[in-house]
Amino acid sequence: MRSDADVEFIQQYGHNPRYLSDVMIDLKTVQLCTDINACIQNNDIILLAVPSAFVHDTLKDLPKDCFKNKTLISAVKGVIPATHQIMSHYFESEWQMDAKQIAAVSGPCHAEEVAMEKLSYLTIASTDQSTADNIAQLFDCHYILTKTTNDIYGIEYAAVLKNVYAIACGICHGLGYGDNFQSVLVSAASRETERFIDASHEIHRDVKENAYLGDLLVTAYSQFSRNRTFGNMLGKGYTVKSAQMEMNMVAEGYYATKTMKEINDSIQAYTPILNAVYSIIYEKANAKNTMAKLTQELI
C-alpha cells in the first residue's frame, strides 16, 4: 500500500476506500505493507500490478538483486515509456532476471467481476512451461479457470494494444457510431494486433485465442473498461486533460498509444487504428473527422 492512512482504514473497516471498495478483505490471510522492499524480500512470488508509466519510478530505488531467486508475475498492461520495453524485456534487462523467472497474466478478466466471483478465464504466459503451470495452479479456483502459453511477448504486446483499441471504440461510441460499426472496428483491431505482434515477435500463434481476441473484446465493450470510458469522453468532446481529471483513474491506453506508435515507427506494421487514436490524443486532431477517415480505411 502507498498510504499509511489507507492501511489504517483497511485494518479498521476491512475494505479499501479507493478501489473495489465494496469488497471485504480477509485480514487473517492478507498482510498489509507500505514498504515495497520488505514486501519483495519476504515473499518468493511477486505479483506486479502498477500502471506501466509508473513501474520504473516505483522500483528504481530497490536493490538491483532484490528479484534474485524470485518469480515475478506481471499483471501490467503497458510498456515502459522511456525504453519502449514490455515488462518481460524490462525485467530481463534492468533487473537481470532470467526469462524463466517471469510470467505474465492476461485476461479476458476485469477485476470488478473477479471481485464478484463471476466466472473468468486467465492465460498465464511464460517462456518456461513449469513456471506457467505453477502460477496457473495458484490462480485456479471455482470462479477462475486458467490455461498457459509460451507466447509471453505476444501476450504482452496484445494486452497493450487492446487498451488503445478500447479507446478507439469509446471515441466512436461517444461520436454516436452504432454496434454495426463497432463490430467492424473490433474485427479490424484484431487483425491489426496480429500484424503488429507478428512484426515484433513472429512465432506461430492464434490471435483468436482468449488472451488476444477475448481480452480485446472485453476491453472494447465492457462497462468496466477504463480505456473505453476515457475514449467515450473524448468522443463527446472532452479534452484529454479534462477526461483524465474526471475519471480520477489511470487509463493505460493513454500512455500505450504513444509508446506503441513510437515502436511501430520502427517495425512499420499497418496500424490505421493506432494512428488515428494517436492523432486524436497527441496531435489534437478532430475526433469526428479522424474517425470518419478511419471508416474508409477499414473497408
pLDDT digits (tens, 9 = 90+) for 35-89: 999 999 999 999 999 989 899 999 999 999 999 999 999 999 889 988 999 999 9
Please give the share of the chain, as a percent, with pLDDT higher than 90: 85
pLDDT for 38: 93
Does residue 249 have a pLDDT over 80? no
Report the alpha-carbon distance of residue 166 to residue 186 in Å, rounded: 9
SS3 at position 41: helix
pLDDT for 255: 92
Q: Class for domain 153-297, per CATH?
A: mainly alpha
Give yes or no for a contact between 40 and 66, defined as CB atoms under 8 angstroms apart. yes
Report the alpha-carbon distance of residue 75 to residue 73 in Å, rounded: 7
Cα 47 from chain centroid (whole Å): 14
| pLDDT tens per residue, range 105-121 | 998 988 889 999 999 99
Kind plus residue range of the DSSP H or E element containing 123: strand 120-125
Q: What global pTM score does this model have?
A: 0.90
Q: Which of 102, 97, 142 is nearest to 124 (CA)?
A: 102
Hey, where are the domains in the chain? Answer: 153-297
Q: Is 51 exposed, middle or buried (0-12, 13-18, 19+ CB in 10 A)?
A: middle
Report the alpha-carbon distance of residue 205 to residue 223 in Å, rounded: 29
